[in-house]
């Protein structure tokens, strides 16, 4: 089938009269745990095409501006309602982006190594300057090594001691673009990879909490990371556990709304 790039397209396989314009109303004021004040309204206009060819038994197909088929519709009776609902969901914030939160009530339950592999894979799917992929990840699950690594944590990060897996993220300047005007991209690109990883971990129902609070000399020594690399963050991983051992301040942030400017 021909792709219709650049517009939201609806391919209809029957002559059905359907509105072109749809109002989107994103309102997250009700979800107080994540949003204080997010209320957006806008309108999109679909380009409607009729087609005879259909091997899928569907009566309509929604195609996004990148040419991807995003949804097939099967019921003529509910088509208009289904399209409205689909479009509204399409413009919602991705649920793994909003559900991600730096929780601290980490349980010591082990994480399947396949999930850990997928986390790293999701990180590597990030874009990077000239595809340099400057990032390096070490997944630490082995108990002795994990305990040694945890010795690099200061008192304030006491909550991370329960974690069954920590991912150390390191990179060096020479492994990425270094452009004029101090545009060194190694930290930026590695950050994007970590962003993917955090969102993917959320999808798996995992807490993935990045920290800067560790002693880099101790951590680098435990992990054999050469000195010319920057150990950027440790990502503390785990399933949600018991919050009763957290400090009063951390118990509060555990249940508080995520503050944004």
**Which one, of 177, 210, 180, lies nearest residue 193 by Cα?**
210
Contact stretch for ligand FMN (CB under 6 A) within 18-26, 118-126, 144-152, 210-218: 210-218
Question: Which tokens go with 139?
Answer: 């997944």
Among residues 9, 12, 101, 170, the one that binds ligand FMN under rule CB under 6 A: 101
96 is a contact residue toward ligand FMN (CB under 6 A)? no
CB of 213 to ligand FMN, least distance (A): 3
CB of 141 to ligand FMN, least distance (A): 21
233 is a contact residue toward ligand FMN (CB under 6 A)? yes
**Which one, of 184, 197, 186, 183, lies nearest residue 134 by Cα?**
186
67 is a contact residue toward ligand FMN (CB under 6 A)? no
36 is a contact residue toward ligand FMN (CB under 6 A)? no
187 is a contact residue toward ligand FMN (CB under 6 A)? no
Q: From the CB of residue 27, how many other CB atoms can be counted at a distance below 10 Å?
A: 12
Which residues have CB under 8 Å from 95's CB, separation 6+?
Answer: none
CB of 100 to ligand FMN, least distance (A): 7
Contact stretch for ligand FMN (CB under 6 A) within 27-35, 110-118, 171-179, 208-216: 208-216
Question: Which tokens go with 112?
Answer: 């399947």
Which residues have CB under 8 Å from 103's CB, separation 6+?
Answer: 207, 209, 240, 254
């Amino acid at each position: 089938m021909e792709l219709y790039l650049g517009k939201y397209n609806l391919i209809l396989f029957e002559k059905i009269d359907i509105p072109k314009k749809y109002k989107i109303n994103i309102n997250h004021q009700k979800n107080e745990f994540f949003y204080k004040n997010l209320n957006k309204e806008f309108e999109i206009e679909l380009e409607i095409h009729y087609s005879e060819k259909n091997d899928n038994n569907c009566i309509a197909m929604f195609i996004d501006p990148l040419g991807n088929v995003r949804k097939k519709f099967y019921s003529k009776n509910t088509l208009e309602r289904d399209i409205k609902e689909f479009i509204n969901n399409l413009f919602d914030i991705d649920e793994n982006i909003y559900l991600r939160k730096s929780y601290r009530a980490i349980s010591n339950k082990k994480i399947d190594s396949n999930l850990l592999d997928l986390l790293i894979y999701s990180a590597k799917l990030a874009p990077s300057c000239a595809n340099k992929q400057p990032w390096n990840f070490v997944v630490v699950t082995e108990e002795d090594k994990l305990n040694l690594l945890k010795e690099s944590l200061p008192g304030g990060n006491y909550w991370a001691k329960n974690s069954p897996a920590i991912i150390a993220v390191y990179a060096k300047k020479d492994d990425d673009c270094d452009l004029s005007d101090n545009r060194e991209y190694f930290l930026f690109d590695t950050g994007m990879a970590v962003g993917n990883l955090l969102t993917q971990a959320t999808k798996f129902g995992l807490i993935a909490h990045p920290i800067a609070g560790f002693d880099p000399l101790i951590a680098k020594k435990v992990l054999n990371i050469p000195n010319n690399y920057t150990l950027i963050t440790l990502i503390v991983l785990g399933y949600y556990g018991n919050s009763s051992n957290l400090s009063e301040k951390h118990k509060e942030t555990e249940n508080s709304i995520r503050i944004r400017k």
